[in-house]
Amino acid sequence: MDESFSLLTDIIRRRRSEYPSTYQAGAIDEALIQAVLENACWAPNHKRTEPWRFVVIRGPKRESLSLFMQDHFRKQAGDASPDPVKLKQAGERPLQADTVVAICIHRSAADVIPAWEETAAVACAVQNMWLSCTALGIGAYWASPSVIGSLGGFLGLTDGEECLGLFYMGWSGQPGPERTRKPLASVCRWL
């Protein structure tokens, strides 16, 4: 098998959702974060709209995110008390990660390109980031908690921009959980 195909296959199959509680301590060099984001920008995108936007949250800004997320969780619970486990987790995750990248989208006018195509392009960008992280030994995980709908002000998003998730990054601490996929034959038909 071609060497570059084998290398790529290995990285694709080793990619895992790695949760912040399993990350090892240690700062990720800013140049690596930049490199991961540069790769994100090489994703395919229809009409070259490059709809991805990223907001990098590091250092003390993670504490602000942690407080924001907990506050959101409490407000969401209303008069009921919030689930203490989930509240704790919401506060801890940004602090357990070295870096949190807010995955955002800038949607073009509807007549330029369908919204789903822009979302698909951003998802491709995230996969580029994720595979890059795996290759670098960085654990990563795409979360889409409800708080992302309220993060516009915190992230400084402008008109037409929206947050689609939080991408947690930290040095990989342990191999991700074993995963399986359905057999190809169950999801693919050849005509």
Binding residues for ligand FMN, rule: CB under 6 A, are 16-17, 142-145, 165, 176, 179
Q: How far is the CB of 120 from ligand FMN (least distance, A)?
A: 11
Q: How far is the CB of 17 from ligand FMN (least distance, A)?
A: 4
Pick the closer one to ligand FMN by CB: 20 or 32: 20
In the 3-class helix/strand/coil scheme, how is 31-100 assigned residue by residue?
Answer: HHHHHHHHHHCCCCCHHHCCCEEEEEEECCHHHHHHHHHHHHHHHHHCCCCCCHHHHHHHHHHHHHCCEE
CA distance 25 to 18: 14
Pick the closer one to ligand FMN by CB: 32 or 148: 148
Q: How far is the CB of 178 from ligand FMN (least distance, A)?
A: 9
Pick the closer one to ligand FMN by CB: 30 or 177: 177
Q: How far is the CB of 93 from ligand FMN (least distance, A)?
A: 10
Pick the closer one to ligand FMN by CB: 34 or 146: 146
Q: Which residue lies nearest ligand FMN, judged by its C-beta?
A: 17
Pick the closer one to ligand FMN by CB: 51 or 176: 176
Pick the closer one to ligand FMN by CB: 2 or 106: 106
| Structural contact between residues 102 and 68, judged by C-beta atoms closer than 8 angstroms | no
Nearest alpha carbon to residue 169 among 41, 72, 34:
34
3-class secondary structure, 139: strand
Strands 161-171 and 99-106: antiparallel
Number of alpha carbons in the 13 Å side-chain half-sphere of residue 26: 12
Q: How far is the CB of 130 from ligand FMN (least distance, A)?
A: 8
Q: How far is the CB of 141 from ligand FMN (least distance, A)?
A: 7
For residue 181, the 8-state DSSP code is -
